[in-house]
Structure 1
Amino acid sequence: MSVVPSSAVATSSAPVGAGVGPLLRGWREQRRVSQLELALRAGSSARHISFVETGRSRPSEEMVLRLAEHLDVPVRERNALLLAAGYAPHYPETPLDDPSMGALREGVERLIQGYEPYPALVVDARYDVLAANRGIALLLDGVPDRLLVPPLNAMRLTLHPEGLAPRIRNLRAWRDHLLAQMDRQIALLRSAPLRALYEEVAAYPVPERDPAEDGGSTGPPLPFALPLRIEHEGRVLSFVSSISTFNTPMDVTVAELAVETFLPADPATAKYLHSLHP
Protein backbone atom coordinates (compact mmCIF):
# COMPACT_ATOMS: atom_id res chain seq x y z
CA MET A 1 0.00 0.00 0.00
CA SER A 2 1.24 3.50 -0.73
CA VAL A 3 1.98 6.08 1.90
CA VAL A 4 -1.01 8.41 2.12
CA PRO A 5 -1.59 11.63 4.04
CA SER A 6 -3.70 11.40 7.17
CA SER A 7 -6.94 13.35 7.20
CA ALA A 8 -6.64 13.91 10.95
CA VAL A 9 -4.27 16.63 12.06
CA ALA A 10 -3.19 16.59 15.69
CA THR A 11 -3.32 19.89 17.51
CA SER A 12 -1.50 21.22 20.52
CA SER A 13 -3.46 21.07 23.74
CA ALA A 14 -1.76 24.14 25.20
CA PRO A 15 -4.40 26.38 26.79
CA VAL A 16 -5.26 29.34 24.60
CA GLY A 17 -3.70 32.48 26.02
CA ALA A 18 -1.55 30.63 28.55
CA GLY A 19 1.85 32.22 29.04
CA VAL A 20 5.03 30.33 28.37
CA GLY A 21 5.93 30.28 32.08
CA PRO A 22 3.06 28.08 33.30
CA LEU A 23 3.47 25.82 30.26
CA LEU A 24 7.16 25.29 30.97
CA ARG A 25 6.42 24.69 34.64
CA GLY A 26 3.86 22.08 33.65
CA TRP A 27 6.36 20.22 31.49
CA ARG A 28 9.05 20.45 34.18
CA GLU A 29 6.71 19.04 36.83
CA GLN A 30 5.54 16.29 34.50
CA ARG A 31 9.17 15.31 33.94
CA ARG A 32 9.76 15.50 37.71
CA VAL A 33 12.73 17.82 37.30
CA SER A 34 13.56 20.52 39.85
CA GLN A 35 14.22 24.11 38.83
CA LEU A 36 17.85 23.68 39.90
CA GLU A 37 18.31 20.51 37.87
CA LEU A 38 16.75 22.09 34.78
CA ALA A 39 18.93 25.17 35.22
CA LEU A 40 22.08 23.04 35.38
CA ARG A 41 21.07 21.15 32.26
CA ALA A 42 20.27 24.33 30.32
CA GLY A 43 23.26 26.37 31.51
CA SER A 44 21.09 28.83 33.40
CA SER A 45 20.25 29.52 37.05
CA ALA A 46 17.40 28.33 39.25
CA ARG A 47 16.55 31.99 39.87
CA HIS A 48 16.14 32.65 36.16
CA ILE A 49 14.02 29.49 35.68
CA SER A 50 11.81 30.63 38.55
CA PHE A 51 11.42 34.11 37.01
CA VAL A 52 10.50 32.55 33.64
CA GLU A 53 7.90 30.25 35.18
CA THR A 54 6.26 33.05 37.16
CA GLY A 55 6.26 35.47 34.23
CA ARG A 56 8.73 37.89 35.80
CA SER A 57 11.19 37.25 32.97
CA ARG A 58 10.57 36.66 29.26
CA PRO A 59 12.85 33.92 27.93
CA SER A 60 14.65 34.34 24.65
CA GLU A 61 13.69 32.15 21.71
CA GLU A 62 16.92 30.22 22.17
CA MET A 63 16.15 29.65 25.85
CA VAL A 64 12.65 28.36 25.10
CA LEU A 65 14.06 25.85 22.64
CA ARG A 66 16.86 24.86 25.02
CA LEU A 67 14.48 24.26 27.92
CA ALA A 68 12.11 22.32 25.67
CA GLU A 69 14.99 20.15 24.49
CA HIS A 70 16.09 19.30 28.04
CA LEU A 71 12.49 18.60 29.06
CA ASP A 72 12.00 16.32 26.04
CA VAL A 73 8.96 18.31 24.91
CA PRO A 74 7.40 16.94 21.69
CA VAL A 75 8.11 18.98 18.57
CA ARG A 76 4.50 20.12 18.14
CA GLU A 77 4.42 21.38 21.72
CA ARG A 78 7.72 23.21 21.27
CA ASN A 79 5.99 25.33 18.66
CA ALA A 80 3.20 25.98 21.18
CA LEU A 81 5.77 27.14 23.74
CA LEU A 82 7.33 29.52 21.22
CA LEU A 83 3.94 30.99 20.33
CA ALA A 84 3.13 31.45 24.01
CA ALA A 85 6.42 33.33 24.41
CA GLY A 86 5.63 35.61 21.46
CA TYR A 87 7.84 33.94 18.85
CA ALA A 88 7.10 32.28 15.53
CA PRO A 89 6.96 28.48 15.37
CA HIS A 90 10.37 26.95 14.72
CA TYR A 91 9.33 23.58 13.30
CA PRO A 92 7.32 23.31 10.06
CA GLU A 93 4.46 20.84 9.62
CA THR A 94 4.73 19.60 6.06
CA PRO A 95 1.92 17.43 4.64
CA LEU A 96 3.13 13.94 3.89
CA ASP A 97 1.98 14.25 0.27
CA ASP A 98 4.06 17.39 -0.29
CA PRO A 99 6.68 16.99 -3.06
CA SER A 100 9.44 17.76 -0.56
CA MET A 101 8.47 14.61 1.34
CA GLY A 102 9.01 12.37 -1.68
CA ALA A 103 12.24 10.83 -0.41
CA LEU A 104 10.65 10.12 2.97
CA ARG A 105 7.57 8.50 1.44
CA GLU A 106 9.68 6.35 -0.86
CA GLY A 107 12.00 5.31 1.96
CA VAL A 108 9.20 4.39 4.33
CA GLU A 109 7.34 2.44 1.66
CA ARG A 110 10.50 0.57 0.70
CA LEU A 111 11.13 -0.21 4.36
CA ILE A 112 7.76 -1.80 5.04
CA GLN A 113 7.68 -3.64 1.72
CA GLY A 114 11.15 -4.99 2.41
CA TYR A 115 9.86 -6.37 5.70
CA GLU A 116 7.41 -8.67 3.91
CA PRO A 117 6.17 -11.32 4.38
CA TYR A 118 6.02 -10.08 7.97
CA PRO A 119 3.46 -7.35 8.83
CA ALA A 120 4.52 -3.71 9.07
CA LEU A 121 2.67 -0.39 9.06
CA VAL A 122 3.18 3.33 9.54
CA VAL A 123 0.94 5.39 11.83
CA ASP A 124 0.69 9.01 12.89
CA ALA A 125 0.18 10.49 16.35
CA ARG A 126 -3.47 9.38 16.40
CA TYR A 127 -2.63 5.85 15.24
CA ASP A 128 -4.19 6.51 11.83
CA VAL A 129 -2.60 4.13 9.33
CA LEU A 130 -0.60 5.97 6.67
CA ALA A 131 0.90 2.91 5.00
CA ALA A 132 0.84 -0.86 5.40
CA ASN A 133 2.30 -3.87 3.63
CA ARG A 134 0.79 -7.17 2.49
CA GLY A 135 1.44 -8.75 5.88
CA ILE A 136 -0.99 -6.31 7.47
CA ALA A 137 -3.50 -6.87 4.67
CA LEU A 138 -3.34 -10.58 5.46
CA LEU A 139 -4.30 -9.98 9.09
CA LEU A 140 -7.21 -7.75 8.03
CA ASP A 141 -8.87 -10.52 6.02
CA GLY A 142 -12.51 -10.73 7.06
CA VAL A 143 -12.73 -7.28 8.68
CA PRO A 144 -15.96 -5.54 7.55
CA ASP A 145 -15.50 -2.98 4.78
CA ARG A 146 -17.01 -0.21 6.90
CA LEU A 147 -14.06 -0.47 9.28
CA LEU A 148 -11.62 -0.26 6.37
CA VAL A 149 -12.79 3.12 5.10
CA PRO A 150 -9.87 5.61 5.27
CA PRO A 151 -8.52 6.88 7.47
CA LEU A 152 -7.92 3.46 9.00
CA ASN A 153 -7.12 3.60 12.69
CA ALA A 154 -4.84 0.89 14.08
CA MET A 155 -6.32 0.97 17.60
CA ARG A 156 -9.90 0.90 16.37
CA LEU A 157 -9.21 -1.93 13.90
CA THR A 158 -7.48 -3.98 16.59
CA LEU A 159 -9.91 -3.56 19.49
CA HIS A 160 -13.26 -3.11 17.74
CA PRO A 161 -15.61 -6.08 18.39
CA GLU A 162 -16.06 -6.43 14.62
CA GLY A 163 -12.39 -5.89 13.88
CA LEU A 164 -9.46 -8.07 14.90
CA ALA A 165 -10.52 -8.40 18.55
CA PRO A 166 -12.58 -11.63 18.18
CA ARG A 167 -9.57 -13.35 16.58
CA ILE A 168 -6.97 -12.25 19.15
CA ARG A 169 -6.45 -15.19 21.48
CA ASN A 170 -4.84 -13.11 24.25
CA LEU A 171 -7.10 -10.08 23.79
CA ARG A 172 -7.21 -8.99 27.41
CA ALA A 173 -3.43 -8.84 27.75
CA TRP A 174 -2.95 -7.25 24.31
CA ARG A 175 -5.70 -4.72 25.02
CA ASP A 176 -4.06 -3.74 28.32
CA HIS A 177 -0.76 -3.29 26.48
CA LEU A 178 -2.33 -1.03 23.82
CA LEU A 179 -4.27 1.07 26.32
CA ALA A 180 -1.14 1.58 28.42
CA GLN A 181 0.73 2.62 25.28
CA MET A 182 -1.97 5.15 24.43
CA ASP A 183 -2.01 6.44 27.99
CA ARG A 184 1.71 7.17 27.81
CA GLN A 185 1.21 8.97 24.49
CA ILE A 186 -1.61 11.07 25.94
CA ALA A 187 0.61 12.16 28.81
CA LEU A 188 3.37 13.05 26.36
CA LEU A 189 1.35 14.75 23.64
CA ARG A 190 -1.55 16.10 25.74
CA SER A 191 -3.82 15.44 22.76
CA ALA A 192 -7.59 15.79 23.16
CA PRO A 193 -8.31 13.75 19.99
CA LEU A 194 -6.05 10.97 21.25
CA ARG A 195 -7.86 11.03 24.60
CA ALA A 196 -11.20 10.73 22.76
CA LEU A 197 -9.88 7.72 20.82
CA TYR A 198 -8.68 6.14 24.06
CA GLU A 199 -12.09 6.54 25.67
CA GLU A 200 -13.76 5.06 22.58
CA VAL A 201 -11.65 1.92 22.32
CA ALA A 202 -11.47 1.41 26.10
CA ALA A 203 -15.29 1.22 26.12
CA TYR A 204 -15.39 -1.65 23.61
CA PRO A 205 -16.62 -4.90 25.20
CA VAL A 206 -13.98 -7.35 26.34
CA PRO A 207 -14.48 -11.02 27.32
CA GLU A 208 -14.19 -12.00 30.95
CA ARG A 209 -11.44 -14.40 29.98
CA ASP A 210 -9.46 -15.11 26.84
CA PRO A 211 -10.03 -18.28 24.81
CA ALA A 212 -7.84 -21.20 25.83
CA GLU A 213 -4.80 -21.28 23.57
CA ASP A 214 -5.17 -24.91 22.58
CA GLY A 215 -3.24 -25.69 19.44
CA GLY A 216 -2.04 -23.52 16.61
CA SER A 217 1.36 -21.84 16.48
CA THR A 218 1.21 -20.27 19.90
CA GLY A 219 4.60 -21.60 20.99
CA PRO A 220 6.00 -21.42 24.52
CA PRO A 221 5.55 -18.34 26.72
CA LEU A 222 7.87 -15.50 25.75
CA PRO A 223 9.60 -13.99 28.79
CA PHE A 224 11.12 -11.11 26.80
CA ALA A 225 8.01 -9.60 25.15
CA LEU A 226 4.23 -9.92 25.14
CA PRO A 227 3.17 -11.70 21.93
CA LEU A 228 0.16 -10.90 19.79
CA ARG A 229 -1.59 -14.23 19.19
CA ILE A 230 -4.15 -14.00 16.43
CA GLU A 231 -6.18 -16.56 14.49
CA HIS A 232 -5.96 -16.70 10.71
CA GLU A 233 -7.67 -19.40 8.66
CA GLY A 234 -7.65 -21.96 11.45
CA ARG A 235 -4.11 -21.20 12.58
CA VAL A 236 -2.88 -19.16 15.52
CA LEU A 237 -0.11 -16.82 14.44
CA SER A 238 2.19 -15.34 17.07
CA PHE A 239 4.07 -12.03 16.77
CA VAL A 240 6.14 -9.66 18.86
CA SER A 241 6.04 -6.01 17.82
CA SER A 242 8.48 -3.12 17.84
CA ILE A 243 7.96 0.59 17.18
CA SER A 244 10.51 2.87 15.51
CA THR A 245 10.54 6.66 15.27
CA PHE A 246 12.84 9.16 13.58
CA ASN A 247 15.85 10.56 15.43
CA THR A 248 16.04 14.35 15.94
CA PRO A 249 13.10 15.23 13.68
CA MET A 250 12.94 18.81 12.45
CA ASP A 251 9.35 18.65 11.15
CA VAL A 252 6.16 18.05 13.16
CA THR A 253 4.83 15.52 10.66
CA VAL A 254 8.02 13.46 10.74
CA ALA A 255 8.22 13.67 14.53
CA GLU A 256 4.79 12.04 14.83
CA LEU A 257 5.41 9.14 12.44
CA ALA A 258 5.95 5.66 13.87
CA VAL A 259 6.80 2.42 12.06
CA GLU A 260 5.47 -0.71 13.77
CA THR A 261 6.82 -4.07 12.70
CA PHE A 262 5.63 -7.54 13.74
CA LEU A 263 8.23 -10.30 14.01
CA PRO A 264 7.16 -13.96 14.09
CA ALA A 265 7.44 -15.24 17.65
CA ASP A 266 7.75 -18.90 16.64
CA PRO A 267 9.06 -20.92 13.68
CA ALA A 268 5.59 -22.08 12.63
CA THR A 269 4.38 -18.49 12.12
CA ALA A 270 7.48 -17.60 10.10
CA LYS A 271 7.15 -20.73 7.95
CA TYR A 272 3.47 -20.05 7.25
CA LEU A 273 4.05 -16.43 6.20
CA HIS A 274 6.91 -17.42 3.91
CA SER A 275 4.71 -20.08 2.32
CA LEU A 276 2.21 -17.36 1.35
CA HIS A 277 4.86 -14.98 -0.03
CA PRO A 278 7.83 -17.05 -1.21
Structure 2
Amino acid sequence: MSDRPVSQEKSLDPLGGWPMLGMQALLFLGVIALFALGGGQLDHGDRAVGATFMISAVLMLVISLFHLNGFFIVDPNQARVLVLFGRYRGTVRQDGFFWTNPFTSKRKLSLRAHNLDGSKLKVNDLLGNPIEISAVVVWRVQDTARASFDVEDYEEYVHVQSEAALRHMATKYPYDDLQAEGAEITLRGSTDEVAEELEKELTGRLKEAGIEVIEARLNHLAYAQEIASAMLQRQQAGAIIAARALIVEGAVSMVEDALDQLARKNVVTLDEDRKAMLVGNLLVVLCGQESVKPMLNTGPGGM
Protein backbone atom coordinates (compact mmCIF):
# COMPACT_ATOMS: atom_id res chain seq x y z
CA MET A 1 0.00 0.00 0.00
CA SER A 2 1.25 3.48 -0.83
CA ASP A 3 1.76 6.06 1.90
CA ARG A 4 -1.34 8.22 1.95
CA PRO A 5 -3.66 9.73 4.55
CA VAL A 6 -5.83 7.13 6.26
CA SER A 7 -9.38 8.12 7.09
CA GLN A 8 -10.40 8.08 10.72
CA GLU A 9 -13.96 7.89 11.95
CA LYS A 10 -15.20 10.71 14.14
CA SER A 11 -18.47 10.91 16.02
CA LEU A 12 -21.08 13.53 15.18
CA ASP A 13 -24.02 14.62 17.32
CA PRO A 14 -26.64 16.14 14.97
CA LEU A 15 -29.72 18.14 15.89
CA GLY A 16 -32.77 16.25 17.07
CA GLY A 17 -35.39 15.67 14.43
CA TRP A 18 -38.51 16.37 16.50
CA PRO A 19 -37.77 20.04 17.35
CA MET A 20 -36.86 20.69 13.72
CA LEU A 21 -40.09 18.98 12.67
CA GLY A 22 -41.97 21.52 14.79
CA MET A 23 -40.13 24.32 13.00
CA GLN A 24 -41.07 22.69 9.71
CA ALA A 25 -44.75 22.82 10.73
CA LEU A 26 -44.41 26.52 11.55
CA LEU A 27 -42.93 27.13 8.09
CA PHE A 28 -45.90 25.46 6.44
CA LEU A 29 -48.31 27.51 8.59
CA GLY A 30 -46.43 30.64 7.52
CA VAL A 31 -46.83 29.65 3.87
CA ILE A 32 -50.56 29.20 4.33
CA ALA A 33 -50.84 32.55 6.13
CA LEU A 34 -48.93 34.41 3.40
CA PHE A 35 -51.09 32.89 0.69
CA ALA A 36 -54.21 33.89 2.61
CA LEU A 37 -52.99 37.46 3.12
CA GLY A 38 -51.93 37.76 -0.49
CA GLY A 39 -55.29 36.55 -1.70
CA GLY A 40 -57.08 39.05 0.55
CA GLN A 41 -55.03 41.92 -0.77
CA LEU A 42 -55.71 40.88 -4.33
CA ASP A 43 -59.45 40.74 -3.61
CA HIS A 44 -59.29 44.33 -2.28
CA GLY A 45 -57.54 45.50 -5.45
CA ASP A 46 -54.10 46.05 -3.88
CA ARG A 47 -52.16 44.01 -6.42
CA ALA A 48 -48.68 45.18 -5.43
CA VAL A 49 -49.01 44.12 -1.79
CA GLY A 50 -50.85 40.95 -2.79
CA ALA A 51 -48.13 39.99 -5.26
CA THR A 52 -45.49 40.59 -2.57
CA PHE A 53 -47.27 38.24 -0.17
CA MET A 54 -47.66 35.61 -2.90
CA ILE A 55 -43.98 35.74 -3.87
CA SER A 56 -42.98 35.52 -0.21
CA ALA A 57 -45.27 32.51 0.24
CA VAL A 58 -43.71 30.72 -2.77
CA LEU A 59 -40.18 31.42 -1.51
CA MET A 60 -41.08 30.17 1.97
CA LEU A 61 -42.65 27.05 0.46
CA VAL A 62 -39.45 26.31 -1.49
CA ILE A 63 -37.37 26.82 1.66
CA SER A 64 -39.65 24.58 3.72
CA LEU A 65 -39.57 21.82 1.11
CA PHE A 66 -35.77 22.03 0.93
CA HIS A 67 -35.69 21.99 4.73
CA LEU A 68 -37.29 18.53 4.61
CA ASN A 69 -34.14 17.11 2.99
CA GLY A 70 -32.27 17.55 6.28
CA PHE A 71 -34.28 14.89 8.15
CA PHE A 72 -32.89 11.36 8.45
CA ILE A 73 -33.38 8.24 10.56
CA VAL A 74 -30.69 5.92 11.96
CA ASP A 75 -31.89 2.38 12.65
CA PRO A 76 -30.37 0.16 15.38
CA ASN A 77 -26.95 -1.25 14.40
CA GLN A 78 -26.68 1.12 11.48
CA ALA A 79 -24.74 4.33 10.93
CA ARG A 80 -24.89 7.41 8.72
CA VAL A 81 -21.75 8.93 7.23
CA LEU A 82 -22.29 12.67 6.69
CA VAL A 83 -20.43 14.57 3.95
CA LEU A 84 -20.94 18.30 3.32
CA PHE A 85 -19.59 19.78 0.08
CA GLY A 86 -17.02 17.00 -0.27
CA ARG A 87 -15.84 17.20 3.34
CA TYR A 88 -16.36 14.46 5.90
CA ARG A 89 -18.30 15.86 8.86
CA GLY A 90 -18.64 12.73 10.99
CA THR A 91 -20.57 9.52 11.60
CA VAL A 92 -23.85 9.16 13.48
CA ARG A 93 -24.06 5.75 15.20
CA GLN A 94 -26.83 6.57 17.68
CA ASP A 95 -30.22 5.36 16.49
CA GLY A 96 -33.02 7.90 16.31
CA PHE A 97 -34.58 10.75 14.33
CA PHE A 98 -32.24 13.63 13.42
CA TRP A 99 -31.82 16.73 11.27
CA THR A 100 -28.74 18.18 9.61
CA ASN A 101 -27.82 20.66 6.90
CA PRO A 102 -30.01 19.81 3.88
CA PHE A 103 -26.94 20.02 1.59
CA THR A 104 -25.30 17.16 3.52
CA SER A 105 -25.20 13.72 1.92
CA LYS A 106 -26.05 10.94 4.36
CA ARG A 107 -24.67 7.51 3.39
CA LYS A 108 -26.15 4.53 5.23
CA LEU A 109 -23.83 1.78 6.50
CA SER A 110 -24.80 -1.42 8.31
CA LEU A 111 -22.91 -2.23 11.51
CA ARG A 112 -24.44 -5.70 11.73
CA ALA A 113 -22.41 -8.89 11.36
CA HIS A 114 -22.16 -10.17 7.78
CA ASN A 115 -21.62 -13.73 6.57
CA LEU A 116 -19.43 -14.38 3.53
CA ASP A 117 -19.91 -17.91 2.25
CA GLY A 118 -16.98 -18.14 -0.14
CA SER A 119 -17.10 -20.07 -3.36
CA LYS A 120 -15.01 -23.23 -3.82
CA LEU A 121 -11.48 -22.42 -4.96
CA LYS A 122 -9.13 -24.81 -6.75
CA VAL A 123 -5.60 -24.31 -5.44
CA ASN A 124 -2.42 -26.31 -4.84
CA ASP A 125 -1.35 -27.20 -1.32
CA LEU A 126 2.23 -27.07 -0.04
CA LEU A 127 3.12 -30.29 -1.91
CA GLY A 128 1.50 -29.17 -5.15
CA ASN A 129 -1.60 -31.37 -4.84
CA PRO A 130 -4.70 -29.73 -6.37
CA ILE A 131 -7.42 -29.29 -3.75
CA GLU A 132 -10.80 -27.63 -3.45
CA ILE A 133 -11.21 -25.26 -0.53
CA SER A 134 -13.67 -22.63 0.68
CA ALA A 135 -14.28 -20.66 3.86
CA VAL A 136 -16.97 -18.82 5.79
CA VAL A 137 -16.00 -15.37 7.06
CA VAL A 138 -18.03 -13.43 9.65
CA TRP A 139 -17.23 -9.71 9.52
CA ARG A 140 -18.62 -6.26 10.25
CA VAL A 141 -17.75 -2.62 9.65
CA GLN A 142 -15.61 -1.21 12.45
CA ASP A 143 -14.47 2.14 11.00
CA THR A 144 -17.14 3.73 8.80
CA ALA A 145 -14.77 6.41 7.47
CA ARG A 146 -12.31 3.86 6.09
CA ALA A 147 -15.09 1.72 4.67
CA SER A 148 -16.55 4.76 2.90
CA PHE A 149 -13.48 6.65 1.68
CA ASP A 150 -10.42 4.35 1.64
CA VAL A 151 -11.82 1.59 -0.63
CA GLU A 152 -14.10 1.74 -3.64
CA ASP A 153 -16.60 -0.90 -2.52
CA TYR A 154 -15.95 -2.38 0.92
CA GLU A 155 -18.17 -5.44 0.39
CA GLU A 156 -16.39 -6.35 -2.84
CA TYR A 157 -13.09 -5.65 -1.11
CA VAL A 158 -13.94 -8.17 1.62
CA HIS A 159 -14.87 -10.77 -1.00
CA VAL A 160 -11.69 -10.39 -3.06
CA GLN A 161 -9.31 -10.21 -0.11
CA SER A 162 -10.94 -13.25 1.53
CA GLU A 163 -10.27 -15.33 -1.57
CA ALA A 164 -6.69 -14.05 -1.78
CA ALA A 165 -6.02 -14.84 1.89
CA LEU A 166 -7.51 -18.33 1.53
CA ARG A 167 -5.40 -19.09 -1.55
CA HIS A 168 -2.25 -17.88 0.18
CA MET A 169 -2.91 -19.91 3.32
CA ALA A 170 -3.70 -23.10 1.37
CA THR A 171 -0.26 -23.02 -0.26
CA LYS A 172 1.50 -22.89 3.13
CA TYR A 173 0.34 -26.27 4.45
CA PRO A 174 -0.12 -29.82 3.11
CA TYR A 175 -3.58 -31.33 2.79
CA ASP A 176 -2.80 -34.08 5.32
CA ASP A 177 0.19 -35.93 6.74
CA LEU A 178 0.01 -38.96 4.45
CA GLN A 179 2.50 -37.39 2.05
CA ALA A 180 4.12 -35.01 4.52
CA GLU A 181 5.03 -37.15 7.50
CA GLY A 182 5.90 -35.14 10.56
CA ALA A 183 4.05 -32.02 9.44
CA GLU A 184 2.91 -30.13 12.52
CA ILE A 185 0.01 -28.34 10.79
CA THR A 186 -2.14 -29.74 7.99
CA LEU A 187 -5.27 -28.35 6.37
CA ARG A 188 -7.27 -31.48 7.18
CA GLY A 189 -5.98 -32.29 10.65
CA SER A 190 -5.36 -28.87 12.21
CA THR A 191 -8.70 -27.10 11.76
CA ASP A 192 -8.33 -24.78 14.76
CA GLU A 193 -4.79 -23.71 13.87
CA VAL A 194 -5.75 -23.17 10.22
CA ALA A 195 -8.80 -21.12 11.20
CA GLU A 196 -6.68 -18.99 13.53
CA GLU A 197 -4.10 -18.41 10.78
CA LEU A 198 -6.80 -17.49 8.25
CA GLU A 199 -8.46 -15.08 10.69
CA LYS A 200 -5.12 -13.43 11.46
CA GLU A 201 -4.28 -12.92 7.78
CA LEU A 202 -7.75 -11.58 6.98
CA THR A 203 -7.54 -9.12 9.85
CA GLY A 204 -4.35 -7.68 8.40
CA ARG A 205 -5.76 -7.47 4.88
CA LEU A 206 -9.14 -5.96 5.80
CA LYS A 207 -7.82 -3.38 8.25
CA GLU A 208 -7.34 -1.06 5.28
CA ALA A 209 -11.11 -1.00 4.76
CA GLY A 210 -12.03 -0.61 8.44
CA ILE A 211 -13.41 -4.16 8.62
CA GLU A 212 -13.33 -6.33 11.75
CA VAL A 213 -13.06 -10.09 11.24
CA ILE A 214 -15.15 -11.88 13.87
CA GLU A 215 -14.52 -15.45 12.73
CA ALA A 216 -13.09 -17.31 9.74
CA ARG A 217 -13.33 -21.08 9.22
CA LEU A 218 -13.01 -23.61 6.42
CA ASN A 219 -16.35 -25.05 5.35
CA HIS A 220 -15.15 -27.23 2.46
CA LEU A 221 -11.90 -29.11 1.94
CA ALA A 222 -11.31 -31.95 -0.52
CA TYR A 223 -8.88 -33.17 -3.13
CA ALA A 224 -9.61 -31.94 -6.63
CA GLN A 225 -11.66 -34.30 -8.79
CA GLU A 226 -8.74 -35.42 -10.97
CA ILE A 227 -6.81 -36.92 -8.03
CA ALA A 228 -9.62 -37.62 -5.58
CA SER A 229 -9.94 -41.30 -6.58
CA ALA A 230 -6.21 -41.99 -6.27
CA MET A 231 -5.97 -40.22 -2.92
CA LEU A 232 -8.99 -42.12 -1.63
CA GLN A 233 -7.33 -45.41 -2.51
CA ARG A 234 -4.18 -44.23 -0.76
CA GLN A 235 -6.16 -43.36 2.37
CA GLN A 236 -7.95 -46.72 2.27
CA ALA A 237 -4.64 -48.55 1.89
CA GLY A 238 -3.24 -46.70 4.86
CA ALA A 239 -6.29 -47.57 6.94
CA ILE A 240 -6.03 -51.26 5.97
CA ILE A 241 -2.33 -51.37 6.87
CA ALA A 242 -3.00 -49.74 10.24
CA ALA A 243 -5.85 -52.18 10.94
CA ARG A 244 -3.67 -55.19 10.00
CA ALA A 245 -0.88 -53.99 12.25
CA LEU A 246 -3.32 -53.72 15.14
CA ILE A 247 -4.69 -57.22 14.46
CA VAL A 248 -1.20 -58.77 14.34
CA GLU A 249 -0.20 -57.02 17.55
CA GLY A 250 -3.28 -58.33 19.31
CA ALA A 251 -2.80 -61.86 17.92
CA VAL A 252 0.82 -62.05 19.10
CA SER A 253 -0.25 -60.94 22.57
CA MET A 254 -2.98 -63.62 22.67
CA VAL A 255 -0.54 -66.34 21.54
CA GLU A 256 1.93 -65.33 24.25
CA ASP A 257 -0.84 -65.56 26.87
CA ALA A 258 -1.95 -68.97 25.56
CA LEU A 259 1.55 -70.47 25.71
CA ASP A 260 2.15 -68.99 29.14
CA GLN A 261 -1.10 -70.44 30.53
CA LEU A 262 -0.44 -73.88 28.99
CA ALA A 263 3.00 -74.01 30.57
CA ARG A 264 1.86 -72.63 33.93
CA LYS A 265 -1.09 -75.04 34.32
CA ASN A 266 0.77 -78.07 32.91
CA VAL A 267 -2.05 -78.77 30.49
CA VAL A 268 0.33 -80.20 27.89
CA THR A 269 4.07 -80.36 27.36
CA LEU A 270 5.17 -79.04 23.98
CA ASP A 271 8.56 -79.24 22.36
CA GLU A 272 9.85 -76.41 20.18
CA ASP A 273 8.45 -77.90 16.95
CA ARG A 274 4.98 -78.29 18.47
CA LYS A 275 5.14 -74.77 19.87
CA ALA A 276 6.04 -73.44 16.44
CA MET A 277 3.16 -75.34 14.86
CA LEU A 278 0.75 -74.13 17.56
CA VAL A 279 1.89 -70.53 17.16
CA GLY A 280 1.46 -70.74 13.40
CA ASN A 281 -2.03 -72.22 13.66
CA LEU A 282 -3.13 -69.63 16.25
CA LEU A 283 -1.85 -66.76 14.15
CA VAL A 284 -3.68 -68.09 11.10
CA VAL A 285 -6.90 -68.37 13.11
CA LEU A 286 -6.59 -64.95 14.74
CA CYS A 287 -5.37 -63.00 11.70
CA GLY A 288 -7.30 -64.75 8.95
CA GLN A 289 -10.45 -63.26 7.49
CA GLU A 290 -12.06 -66.58 6.43
CA SER A 291 -13.69 -69.16 8.70
CA VAL A 292 -11.31 -71.76 10.09
CA LYS A 293 -11.57 -75.46 9.13
CA PRO A 294 -10.64 -77.66 12.09
CA MET A 295 -8.04 -80.44 11.68
CA LEU A 296 -7.84 -83.39 14.09
CA ASN A 297 -4.66 -85.19 15.09
CA THR A 298 -5.28 -88.91 14.51
CA GLY A 299 -1.96 -90.22 15.58
CA PRO A 300 1.72 -89.61 16.16
CA GLY A 301 2.43 -89.14 12.48
CA GLY A 302 -0.48 -87.00 11.26
CA MET A 303 -3.16 -84.53 11.96
Tell me the TM-score normalized by structure 1: 0.22
Tell me: higher relative CO, structure 1 or 2? Use CA pairs within 8 A at least 6 residues apart.
Answer: 1
When you count strand as a share of all residues, which structure comes out higher? 2
TM-score, normalised by the number of residues in structure 2: 0.20
